Every structure is written in structure tokens, then in C-alpha cells.
A and B are shown apart, each in its own frame.
Chain A
């Protein structure tokens, strides 16, 4: 069975600080990897995704993530956070059986608070 582990449940940073949120997954096969963000009162939005190719993936709003296959990790990074990045961040994975048509397995989420 697939599983996703997010190491940090709550993170508090000051504006302009650098961010790295950890994500490890367990899956016996080729996977697709995603990071979603949920701003307060809003629905989940895709930040970035990895299917294949360059393991360093760039997403929206200055976020990037690196897929390290040997470590089963897909950590999310941003060099300088802003107050508007306050949100819940979810790492997710699905199997690569149908080009992304499988349901997602989510991590428990990381609640990020950026202090002005």
C-alpha cells in the first residue's frame, strides 16, 4: 500500500526565510508526485508535480521540489517566503499505471505560518 509521510506538521517562519518541507513516500513502483496548497478557506491548488525527467521541478509562486529516488523523497522548497504563503501544504502520490488517472494518497499536511 502507498503511504506518504510529511515530517513537519506545523512550521512557523519569518518573512524572507527559506523554506523546506519534507515528504517521503512508500510505493512499490513508478510514482507520480505532487504538492498541493490549501489557502485558508480555499480549495486545494496544485503547486507542482513530477512525472518523469528532470528531478528538480519548478512550480508556481516560486516553489520548487526535488525528487530523490534513492531516498523516496520529494521535498518542497522556496528560497524566500512571504506572508501570503501561510497555508496548508500537502504532498501526494499516485501510481503511474494510467498516466495520472489513479486516486491520490496524501500526506497529513504541513501547516505553514509566516510571520510578518
Chain B
């Protein structure tokens, strides 16, 4: 139980285009999901908290207009990287708050912007 999936697992795009990443809780409902970013050989940094039916809460320094988050249902949150640039290349990981007061993590999405 408590499985979180992400799609796609990797994506390559051209600079200036937008990319959407989906995060789904497969066997449980999650009113709260989180988006993290992980740079190579570094730790995960919380980007934003996504709440179903309301606006996301962004961490300081994260551009809300660049990283659009939509939590449209209790099992789906999406992160759209708008007008992506090479510096946005990273590993994006989502998590969902589930049973046992625990966050369950997805496998991550590798974004490469050319």
C-alpha cells in the first residue's frame, strides 16, 4: 500500500517550452502532496505544498509563476515548469501525505532542458 507514481519518469525539452509532471497516489487519497527538487549529489529541497482544492504554498525563493502546481483531485497533483531553461534541469520528486502521518514518495522525474 501507499504507492505514489510520477509521470513521466524522465523528460527532455527545449529551452522556452513548458513541461507538466504528474504525481498520483495510487491506493490512497491525499489531501496534501509535496513537491521537492533534488540537484545532483545533493539533498531534497521542498519547493511547495499542494493542497487539494486550494492554492499551493510555495517555499521562499521558489517562483510560483514558473512552477505551477495544481491539485485537482485527492489522487493527483501536477507540477508544470513553464518556459523551462537549462537551470531548471533537475530531479523533481513528489510525495503524498498518507496513513501513519507519513509522507510517501514517488520515484521522481528527471527533467533535462536543452
A residues with CB within 8 A of B: 32, 34, 36, 42-46, 49, 51, 90, 99-109
| A-B contact list, 23 entries, CB within 8 Å | A34-B102, A42-B107, A43-B93, A43-B105, A43-B106, A44-B95, A46-B103, A46-B104, A51-B101, A90-B44, A100-B102, A100-B103, A101-B32, A101-B97, A103-B36, A103-B59, A104-B34, A104-B46, A104-B95, A105-B46, A106-B43, A106-B45, A109-B43
Asked if A100 contacts B97 (CB within 8 A), the reply is yes
Chain B residue at smallest Cβ distance from A96: B101
| Min C-beta distance of B68 to chain A, whole Å | 18
Q: Mark B87-100, 1 if CB is under 8 A from A, else 0.
A: 00000010101001
Q: A90-B44, A105-B46, A108-B43 are in contact. Are A43 and B32 (CB under 8 A)?
A: no
Q: A90-B43, A105-B46 are in contact. Are A100 and B101 (CB under 8 A)?
A: yes
The prevalent SS among residues of B at the interface is strand
Asked if A103 contacts B43 (CB within 8 A), the reply is no
| Min C-beta distance of A74 to chain B, whole Å | 16
A22 and B108 alpha carbons, distance in the complex (Å): 26
Chain B residues closer than 8 Å to A36, beta-carbon distance: 105
Asked if A32 contacts B43 (CB within 8 A), the reply is no
> Is B25 positioned at the interface, with any CB of A under 8 Å from its CB?
no
> Is B77 positioned at the interface, with any CB of A under 8 Å from its CB?
no
Asked if B101 contacts A44 (CB within 8 A), the reply is no
Name A99's contact: one of B34, B93, B101, B106 (CB within 8 Å).
Answer: B101
Asked if B107 contacts A43 (CB within 8 A), the reply is yes
A103 and B106 alpha carbons, distance in the complex (Å): 15
Highest count of chain B CB atoms <10 Å: which of A49, A101, A103: A103
